[in-house]
Amino acid sequence: ASRSFSHLRSPSQRPSFGIAFDIDGVILRGNTPIGGSPQALGRLYHDSFGTLKVPYVFLTNGGGVPESKRAFELSKLLGVNILPSQVIQGHTPFKQLVKRFENDLIIAVGKGEPATVMSEYGFKNAFSIDEYASCFDNIDPLAQFKKWTTGHVNQNNTIRSTACTQRVHAAFIVSDSVDWSRDIQVLCDILRTGGFPGREIAHQPSLYFANDDLEYQAVFPSERLGMGAFRIALESIFNSIHPNALEYTSFGKPNPSVFRNAETVLMETVPSSYQSANHVTGGNHVFRTLYMIGDNPSVDIKGAKQAGHPWFSILTRTGVFKGKKIMLSIQRIWLLTLLKRQWTISSERRA
Ligand code: G3P
Ligand code: MG
């Protein structure tokens, strides 16, 4: 990850467009590259130098690990050198909330390393829901039946004496919940008691979701339930046991702010030496077109459309969207009608 964008081409070959790639259902399914995605990404670099020719970022609603780690993993899977700054995940905008919760106890939920993600963003008192739940005996009455749990939670007395006695100021759903029943139970405990599980009802702490994807592609042939489905389950249960409706904020695509941020990141990849008078606004490179390549119409395509110029959306059939090729079907019907007509005419002539 030592390469920088300072090698982008001469002014005559200044990039007029940039690309934002969705990951799940476009570039990867699980850990397997889709189609020729590694080769396609390779074509965005100059062969001779291995330096970037076309500015691009990954704009995913997924996550669970820091951007630096995701960039490293993607580089290995796709055979190109991807910088951490090229990886924008669903939880990346959580950084904006550091000032508000910097020293407060916050709970990070989801697969991977959610607490590490939040700590790297600057939250000084972040605990994973695994660590937090382990502070409270019997908080999950089903834990004893969960044969898959290893029980190897990084728990020590410091956690017990700090996390369990402090008020939880916010819960962040960083990535997909691994144990819905435990997480919904513990989140309801936190949210209905003002951040003190087991106590009386009090004002709800803040709640943030990294995305609101109802479904995503993954490896299985049909789509899998995503963070949006988890949100619906949590919200429905919370609203049934609490007098006030659940308050929350969801980040990720299709929010226009995500696309504005991606545009800024893409502009930062273009060094000032490639800017020219007719392409400069306020000292920044301005792209004629930014392509969002995604598989989910209600997330990637809706988001790019809402973001407006210079965004242009391209929908693939490699993931959530599995629509039929309408033009081909129409052409086929037209061809069959034509053949039938020809056959009728020749039969009539023979008769
Ligand atoms: O959990 C990941 C999923 O919600 C979407 O990922 O890359 O398609 O935005 P992506
Ligand atoms: Mg996708």
DSSP letters along 50-67, please?
Answer: --BSS-EEEE-S--SS-H
Residue 281 has pLDDT above 60, yes or no: no
Whole-angstrom distance, CA of residue 68 vs CA of residue 206: 27
SS3 311: strand
**Contact 212 CB / ligand 1 (< 6 Å):** no
Q: Which of 58-62, 207-211, 219-223, 336-340 has the lowest mean pLDDT?
A: 336-340
**Contact 18 CB / ligand 1 (< 6 Å):** no
Q: Which two tokens stand for residue 20?
A: 């934002």
Which ligand 1 atom is nearest residue 253's CA? 9
**Contact 300 CB / ligand 1 (< 6 Å):** no
Whole-angstrom CA distances from 339 to 226, 333, 345, 346 are 47, 10, 10, 11
**Contact 61 CB / ligand 1 (< 6 Å):** yes
Query: Given this model, what pLDDT does residue 49 score?
Result: 65
Q: What is the ipTM, given to two decimal places?
A: 0.98
User: What is the bridge-based pairing of β-strands 105-109 and 168-173?
Assistant: parallel
Segment 191-223, tens digit of pLDDT: 999 999 999 999 999 999 999 999 999 999 999
Around 266, how many Cα atoms within 13 Å sit in the side-chain half-sphere? 29
Whole-number Å distance, alpha carbon 307 to ligand 2 midpoint, is: 18
Architecture of domain 92-250: 3-Layer(aba) Sandwich (3.40)
CB within 8 A of 104, min separation 6: which ones? 125, 169, 170
Q: Atom 2 of ligand 1 has which residue's CA nearest to it? A: 62
Residue of 232, 238, 262 lying closest to 60 (CA atoms): 262
Q: What percent of the chain has pLDDT over 90?
A: 74
Given ligand 1 and candidates 216, 223, 259, which is best to mutate, with the most ligand atoms within 8 Å of its CB?
216
Whole-angstrom distance, CA of residue 92 vs CA of residue 121: 9
Q: Which two tokens stand for residue 199?
A: 């106590």
Q: What is the pTM of this model?
A: 0.87
Whole-angstrom distance, CA of residue 244 vs CA of residue 242: 6
Residue 133 identity (one-letter amino acid): A
What DSSP element (H or E) covers 295?
A: none
Whole-number Å distance, alpha carbon 214 to ligand 2 midpoint, is: 11
Whole-number Å distance, alpha carbon 1 to ligand 2 midpoint, is: 25
Residue 114 has pLDDT above 70, yes or no: yes
Residue 195 identity (one-letter amino acid): G
Report CA dihedral (82, 86, 89, 95) to the nearest 10 degrees: 120
Q: Which DSSP string do the residues of 225-260 spell out, in sequence order?
A: E-HHHHHHHHHHHHHHHSSS----EE-STT-HHHHH
Query: Given this model, what pLDDT does residue 162 score?
Result: 73
Segment 122-174, tens digit of pLDDT: 999 999 999 999 999 999 999 999 987 655 565 566 666 678 889 999 999 99
Q: Is the peptide bond before 11 cis (omega within 30 degrees of 0)?
A: no
Q: Where do the structural domains in the chain lie, given as residue ranges?
A: 5-90+253-315, 92-250, 326-351
Backbone region of residue 181 per phi and psi (left: phi > 0; alpha: psi in -120 to 50; beta: other values): alpha
Which ligand 1 atom is nearest residue 294's CA? 8
SS3 126: strand
Q: Which two tokens stand for residue 140?
A: 């999950």
SS3 290: strand
Q: How far apart are the first and last CA of the chain?
A: 77
Domains 5-90+253-315 and 92-250 share a fold: yes
Which ligand 1 atom is nearest residue 300's CA? 9
Backbone region of residue 208 per phi and psi (left: phi > 0; alpha: psi in -120 to 50; beta: other values): beta
Q: Which two tokens stand for residue 161?
A: 């004496």
**Contact 213 CB / ligand 1 (< 6 Å):** yes
Q: What DSSP character marks residue 204? A: P
Whole-number Å distance, alpha carbon 209 to ligand 2 midpoint, is: 17
Q: Which residues pair with 201 in a beta bridge?
A: none
Segment 216-263, tens digit of pLDDT: 999 999 999 999 999 999 999 999 999 999 999 999 999 999 999 999
**Contact 110 CB / ligand 1 (< 6 Å):** no
Q: Strand runs (DSSP E) across 145-223, as ranges?
A: 168-173, 206-209, 215-216
Given ligand 1 and candidates 32, 213, 225, which is best to mutate, with the most ligand atoms within 8 Å of its CB?
213
Given ligand 1 and candidates 28, 59, 211, 227, which is best to mutate, with the most ligand atoms within 8 Å of its CB?
211
In CATH terms, the fold of domain 5-90+253-315 is Rossmann fold (3.40.50)
Sheet holding 311-315, edge to edge: 87-88, 56-59, 17-21, 289-294, 311-315
- Computed on alpha carbons and rounded to an integer, the radius of gyration of the chain in Å comes to 25
Q: Which two tokens stand for residue 168?
A: 């939880």
Ligand nearest to the CA of 110: 1
Ligand nearest to the CA of 70: 1
Which ligand 1 atom is nearest residue 227's CA? 4
